[in-house]
Amino acid sequence: MKECTMKVSRKFKRLVVKIETPITKTGNGPAVGGKINNLLLLGNGSENSKKNRKRYLVKGIRGWINHAMMAIAKREGVEVCHTSDKTETQKGVNLLPERFHANGKCYPEKECIKHRLMGSIKKRSILKFEPVIIVLEANNKGKKESNIQSVHVATERRNALKSETKISIQDFGERYFSGELTIKIELLEELTREELGFLLKAILFAPELGLGASVNNGGGRVQLKQIALQEVVRSRWFDKNGKVVEEEKTRNLWKEMEEGTKAWPKTNA
Ligand SMILES: [Zn+2]
């Protein structure tokens, strides 16, 4: 029997973004431009007896890119969805900055470029952000697990004392992580060149906003190392003992990336 008949395969495109952060703090830190729970590390529970194998889920990557999209659209004078779906307070005070509409309000009649990619409650996003799961680097030496990335994770001890005494009224740790991370964004539909360009430029802009908490105090600095658009063929099959094998074949699409970055913003030349 030919091997290929045993496989189940799917072909899709994805963006792979390598970033490096010297320090990104977590928690409910206000992001630039609003109160956003921008990044959280979640203890993922699985600790085995031998080693501390706590895993953390880095949240807030989608929100980070979302804000970068708003920022670049604003700079080009292109109206897009705001992250908020409320237009005014109960007292009728306008909440939306100029050049934004409430999230999803453009759909379906005049769907904006951000909504086409990110969706809203009215339509699901065509960008699937793979969960970024990290584990403490020191505990992951020599191990190679797909989908899990090793970075430095630590806790900054904070101790607040009651004034003029040594009595601690608050003792808490602030988590941070540091190191290199890879973000994978799967494209669930084919993007137009313009949409691809908009997404790429938003990613390029994102470091200007910073990631996570304490952005104004030096946290959340991010450096982009590499961006690649890939065509992926993912196959899965099982051997005669039922062991499932997964394989990914990738091809980089540099030309398509270049065409995308030229297609947005549209010039009216
Ligand atoms: Zn919109």
Q: Tell me the three-class secondary structure of 185-208, residue by residue.
A: EEECCCCCHHHHHHHHHHHHHHHH
Please give the tally of structural domains in the chain: 1
Asked, for residue 218, whether it belongs to a domain, the answer is yes
Q: How far is the CA of 59 from the centre of ligand 1 (A)?
A: 23
Whether the CB-CB separation of 14 and 234 falls below 8 Å is answered with no
Asked, for residue 269, whether it belongs to a domain, the answer is no
Asked, for residue 70, whether it belongs to a domain, the answer is yes
Asked, for residue 37, whether it belongs to a domain, the answer is yes
Asked, for residue 244, whether it belongs to a domain, the answer is yes
Q: How far is the CA of 80 from the centre of ligand 1 (A)?
A: 5
Question: Of 81, 84, 87, 75, which is closest to residue 118 (Cα–Cα)?
Answer: 81
Q: How far is the CA of 85 from the centre of ligand 1 (A)?
A: 10
Q: How many angstroms from the chain centroid is the CA of residue 22?
A: 17
Kindly report the length of the chain: 269
What count of other Cβ atoms lies within 10 Å of the Cβ of residue 136? 18
Asked, for residue 65, whether it belongs to a domain, the answer is yes
Q: How far is the CA of 236 from the centre of ligand 1 (A)?
A: 38
Q: How far is the CA of 181 from the centre of ligand 1 (A)?
A: 30
What count of other Cβ atoms lies within 10 Å of the Cβ of residue 107? 17
pTM over 0.85: no
Expressed as residue numbers, the domain containing 71 is 3-263
Print pLDDT tens along the chain (269 aa). 455 578 999 999 999 999 998 877 765 443 333 333 444 555 544 544 445 566 777 878 898 899 999 999 999 999 999 987 777 777 777 778 888 999 999 999 999 999 999 999 999 999 999 988 887 766 556 555 556 777 777 766 666 666 666 665 555 556 677 889 999 999 999 999 999 999 999 999 999 987 766 666 666 788 999 999 999 999 999 999 999 999 999 999 999 999 999 999 987 54
Asked, for residue 58, whether it belongs to a domain, the answer is yes
Asked, for residue 268, whether it belongs to a domain, the answer is no
